[in-house]
């Protein structure tokens, strides 16, 4: 259970090798955290993260996880909950891709949708059922402000995040009153390996900024978190820009 200081005793992250997930786990570690589940594809990054989190008081379970393979998800989630209740679960996987590549190869756009949206629904539904059964816990879903309004420069990615965002928001409403809290996190441009080489957008943040916002959001039971917080007002304005004008914006 999450203690009086809002510290979880157990955490499971799906897509654990993302830089945001790594930063978040470092912030959640401490004397209260006893069990950590890292679900991700096998890699040296996953092994190094597990080694950095394993202590005398905290055990780490490492699971092979492929977001693009929903048929494998039930077994992975069963294994994640095998040792008992999970206080905080995080959906942290996703692919950015490149719109030009999607245009040239529509199959790659389908693959991105399979990971970002279908994978999120597959994991989210199954985790939600487990959390409802245990009667407590939080599900953190990493979305993006890109899902709030499609842009010509990344409309495939934006559409996958829009679908995930609406799913997670509706899931939170469906779980209201069950003891389970769903929090949707909408970062702007995040400086990570995934965005390396792209022009840095205004109000850019780093993985640590997103991790800090998640911890604060969990502490205050937020339903939606923007990173940075000022992005909430930026997106509120952009949602209402006439389409004819929006098309001409350099975004």
Whole-number pLDDT of residue 28: 93
Measuring CA to CA, how many Å separate 238 from each of 203, 224, 249?
A: 15, 18, 10
From CA 111, how far away is CA 114, in angstroms rounded?
Answer: 5
Whole-number pLDDT of residue 1: 62
Whole-number pLDDT of residue 248: 84
116-127 exposure pattern, b = at least 16 Cβ within 10 A, e = fewer: bbbbbbbbbebb
**pLDDT, tens digit, for every residue of 124-182?**
999 999 999 999 999 999 999 999 998 898 999 999 999 999 999 999 999 999 999 99
Q: Which of 137, 118, 117 is nearest to 127 (CA)?
A: 137
From CA 112, how far away is CA 96, in angstroms rounded?
Answer: 8
Specify the higher pLDDT residue, 191 or 136.
136
Specify the higher pLDDT residue, 44 or 195.
44
Query: What residues form DSSP beta bridges with 182?
Result: 139
Region of poorest pLDDT, from 13-27, 104-118, 137-151, 190-204: 190-204
Query: What residues form DSSP beta bridges with 139?
Result: 89, 182
**Which domains can be identified in the chain, with CATH numbers?**
10-246 (3.40.50.720)
Whole-number pLDDT of residue 202: 76
The answer to whether 206 and 191 are in contact (CB under 8 A) is: yes
SS3 62: strand
Q: Which residues are catalytic?
A: 157
What distance lies between CA 161 and its chain's CA centroid? 10
Cβ contacts of residue 204 below 8 Å, gap of 6+? 188, 189, 190, 191
Q: Which of 167, 203, 199, 164 is nearest to 187 (CA)?
A: 203
Return the residue matching tokens 């792209």.
198
pLDDT band at 3 (very low <50, low <70, confident <90, very high): low
Whole-number pLDDT of residue 4: 44
Q: What is the pTM of this model?
A: 0.93
């Amino acid at each position: 259970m999450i203690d009086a200081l809002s510290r979880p005793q157990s955490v499971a992250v799906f897509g654990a090798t993302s830089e945001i997930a790594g930063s978040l786990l470092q912030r959640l570690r401490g004397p209260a955290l006893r069990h950590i589940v890292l679900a991700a594809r096998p890699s040296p990054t996953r092994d190094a993260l597990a080694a950095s989190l394993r202590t005398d008081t905290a055990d780490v379970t490492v699971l092979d996880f492929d977001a693009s393979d929903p048929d494998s998800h039930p077994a992975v989630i069963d294994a994640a909950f095998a040792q008992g209740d999970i206080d905080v679960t995080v959906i942290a996987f996703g692919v950015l891709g490149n719109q030009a590549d999607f245009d040239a190869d529509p199959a790659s756009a389908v693959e991105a949708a399979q990971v970002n949206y279908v994978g999120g629904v597959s994991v989210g539904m199954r985790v939600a059922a487990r959390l409802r059964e245990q009667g407590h816990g939080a599900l953190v879903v990493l979305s993006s402000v890109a899902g709030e309004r499609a842009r010509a420069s990344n409309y495939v990615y934006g559409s996958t995040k829009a679908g995930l965002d609406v799913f997670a928001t509706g899931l939170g409403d469906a779980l209201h009153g069950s003891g389970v809290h769903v929090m949707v996190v909408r970062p702007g441009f995040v400086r990570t390996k995934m965005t390396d080489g792209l022009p840095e957008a205004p109000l850019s943040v780093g993985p640590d900024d997103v991790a800090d916002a998640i911890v604060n959001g969990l502490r205050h039971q937020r339903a939606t978190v923007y990173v940075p917080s000022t992005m909430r007002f930026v997106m509120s304005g952009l949602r209402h820009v006439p389409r004819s004008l929006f098309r001409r914006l350099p975004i």
